[in-house]
Amino acid sequence: MSHTALASSSESASPAWQFSSCCIDLDQTDPGEEAWKLLTRLALGIVFSMDTMMMSFFLYSDWARAAIFGGEPTIPSSIVLLFKLNMLLGSTLTMLVLVPPILRASWDGLRQRRMSTDTLIALGSLSGYAASLYGIATGGEVYFDTATTILVFVTAGHYLELRARARGSEALERLLARAPDMACVVRGGVETDVPAAAVALGETVIVRPGGSIPVDGEVIDGAGSVDEASITGEAEPVFKEAGERVYSGAVNLDGRLIIRATGVGEDRAMARLVRHLREALTRRAPVQRLADRVSAIFVPLTVLCAALAFAFWCWRDGASHGLMAALAVLLIACPCALGVATPLAIWAGMGRAAEGGVLVRSAEALEKLAGVKAVFFDKTGTLTKGTFLLRDTIPAAGIDGGQLIGWAASLETASEHPLGRAVVAHARAHHAVISPVSEFRAMPGLGVVGQVGGASKVAVGSERFMQRMGWPLCPTLSAERARLHGEGRTVVCVGWDGVARGLLGFVESIRPEAPETVRELTALGFAVEALTGDDRSAGEAVSRRLGIRVHSNLLPDDKERLIAEARSRLGPVAMVGDGLNDAPAMARSDVGIALGCGVDVTRETADVSLIGSDLRQVVWAARLAHETYRTIRQNLWWAFFYNAVGIGLALFGILHPIISALAMVLSNLFVVGNSLRLARGSAPKDKDSVEETFVEEFAAAG
């Protein structure tokens, strides 16, 4: 993906706002390049300002004058003028290098009828420079050192902030670099090496053993093991054969794969993920808009305070003291810390989330997650693995259990139902005889029926299916069915030749981390409940094992209604599901969390997408959201405290402008350091993971 493409993607999703040039600008499309440009400006500014600072040090240092002039109390006026002209040259060059970006940003703000922090910096530095020119003309004091030092401090602080963000952007580019630059395609029956960006949809791509896959696609011929650890984090290589999907950036370990391209260029899964992360960081959270509203009021008030300070101290101690007081107010009040407090903490928090395989769609979603009071889980496929084990086999009197399993498995070989797969797996594990099937029919929601072995008509399904078939259960099987339901089993009936012949009882596999996840969420103060379309007995079985309330027999509309009721009853709600059949409930919730997304991170209903299937990521993400917004609150409180104290000292004439500029930068760096603590935290690791997922590199920004 090119910088231009990324820029257009970001600009299309970005609102018409921008931070000041002295603060982090999340709309920069290439912060690395911007950081290097700024470093060049800073280096030149330091070189040009050093001469000004040395001359200033000499003019205002008694011991320096004594060392050169033998203790003479004064310096010849011609020497003083020469020094001042030298300072004028150095400060002018410094201004030419460092002021233009600040003036442009300030002018852009004024054209939009708003005053930014750039306005304060521009007023402070240019006022000092103009007053110095007046001092040279009239023989008065000069303040070139103040004007240039302000700019150097501000630019240095901006560079450090921008460089911190640039590391994250560089990581995103490295993600895309994992896909190869060249691809082998078949054109006109001839294998040809072409740039990967030139591969068209539908073209045939050949990947040899040891090669990286250049595009997303479907295997149409060949087979082999593929290492997708850099994409999904799964340590175990995945065997791929015809009909299966592969993704760019994965490594073909063995075998020769022939792939039909289904995702090229910016449509590749890896490129979509990079775009997703970039766009997430350009969407603003409500807390950021609050900081903007505060700044919009704060900056004009600061200018007014500076004007009052100038007027008061001019009246009391003269224009020189008044100018210093006004400059001090302008610089100490520059709310850079206020502008950096929120976006940098969100950047660090979202980067750390990506490291843990948690992709947050927007800053607003992260803020909402921090305010969630209740977590609802879908049962099947979320709290459970979505797979079943055949636990009970109950044949009717005179029926052989092996025959019951064998005939049921024979019929289910033609079915894709999870219960059917469990029957077949059990039959094969116990070496049951599986016979050929004909006239197979599936009855959605009821069961399957067909001819087994060319003779017997066999049916497998629910009790209602048996009743429709006219094959009622005998009293003994009815009693056994009630008992199995009471134990939380999912029960299937098996019959042939017009008679129900037995029952099969299934248990659903609970995810091993589910009990721990529920305990931790409860300990954190969340209300935890589950939703399922299964019957009441299956829901109660999960309820007993996890100790939570489970709502059963729910259709998608019922789940949506329960989420709406829970929001009014419990407060903001997060819904955890697979993002597909749970879409209505996830859309209704405050935060939708899609589990096990793998490379499919663009599910529209999910505010948060989990790359893996570990439920502990939900707990970790909730804690991270709370930690991120605790850091934001700390930053904002510090920014308000610093500005309140600093403006008070400046109004009383205690602070020199240079001290104000230094204090502003130190305050800014405090906020940067506090925010970057988020990126240094640990991320949840799957015990089977041997390699970082490619989104983890994104968190290297910290």
* Among candidate residues 523, 566, 518, the one with its CA nearest the CA of residue 545: 518
pLDDT of 27 higher than 60:
no
Strand partners, 457: 451
Average pLDDT over residues 389-418: 86
**Which CATH architecture is the domain 353-383+512-621 placed in?**
3-Layer(aba) Sandwich (3.40)
Cα separation, 687 vs 235, whole angstroms: 9
Return mean pLDDT, the chain: 75
Q: Name the token pair of 90.
A: 């150095």
Distance of CA 366 to the CA centre of its chain: 8
pLDDT of 699 higher than 80:
no
**Assigned CATH class of 385-509:** alpha beta
Cα separation, 201 vs 262, whole angstroms: 6
Name the band, by pLDDT with cuts 50, 70 and 90, for residue 243.
confident
Average pLDDT over residues 570-587: 78
Cα separation, 126 vs 101, whole angstroms: 14
Q: What is the DSSP string of 388-436?
A: EEEEEEEEPTT--HHHHHHHHHHHHTT---HHHHHHHHHHHHTT-----
Look up 378 and say whether it is catalytic: yes
Same fold flag, 182-265 and 353-383+512-621 = no
Name the band, by pLDDT with cuts 50, 70 and 90, for residue 372.
very high
Q: What backbone torsions phi and psi does residue 551 show, to the nearest 5 degrees?
A: -90, 125
pLDDT of 449 higher than 50:
yes
**Predicted local confidence at residue 522, as pLDDT:** 93
Cα separation, 473 vs 468, whole angstroms: 12
Cα separation, 92 vs 78, whole angstroms: 21
Least confident of 490-494, 546-550, 641-645: 641-645
Q: Name the token pair of 239.
A: 């065997």
Cα separation, 164 vs 181, whole angstroms: 28
Topology adopted by domain 182-265: 2.70.150
**Predicted local confidence at residue 274, as pLDDT:** 65
Per-residue pLDDT of 481-531, as tens digits, reads: 888 877 778 888 999 888 898 999 888 778 888 999 999 999 999 999 998
Which residue of the set 51, 216, 227, 378 is catalytic? Answer: 378
* Among candidate residues 59, 87, 86, the one with its CA nearest the CA of residue 75: 59
pTM over 0.85: no
Cα separation, 593 vs 611, whole angstroms: 11
Strand partners, 530: 377, 550
Extents of the domains making up the chain: 182-265, 353-383+512-621, 385-509
**Predicted local confidence at residue 697, as pLDDT:** 40
Most confident of the ranges 227-236, 459-468, 582-591: 459-468
Q: Name the token pair of 212.
A: 């990286």
**Predicted local confidence at residue 508, as pLDDT:** 77
pLDDT of 629 higher than 50:
yes
Rg (C-alpha) for the chain, rounded Å, is 35
pLDDT of 235 higher than 60:
no
pLDDT of 279 higher than 50:
yes
**Predicted local confidence at residue 8, as pLDDT:** 35
* Among candidate residues 489, 490, 527, the one with its CA nearest the CA of residue 377: 527
Which residues does 458 contact at the CB level (< 8 Å), separation at least 6? 407, 408, 410, 411, 449, 450, 451, 452, 494, 495, 496
| Cβ–Cβ < 8 Å for 210, 252 | yes
**Predicted local confidence at residue 507, as pLDDT:** 81
Name the band, by pLDDT with cuts 50, 70 and 90, for residue 684.
low
**Predicted local confidence at residue 34, as pLDDT:** 76
Most confident of the ranges 118-132, 392-406, 643-657: 392-406
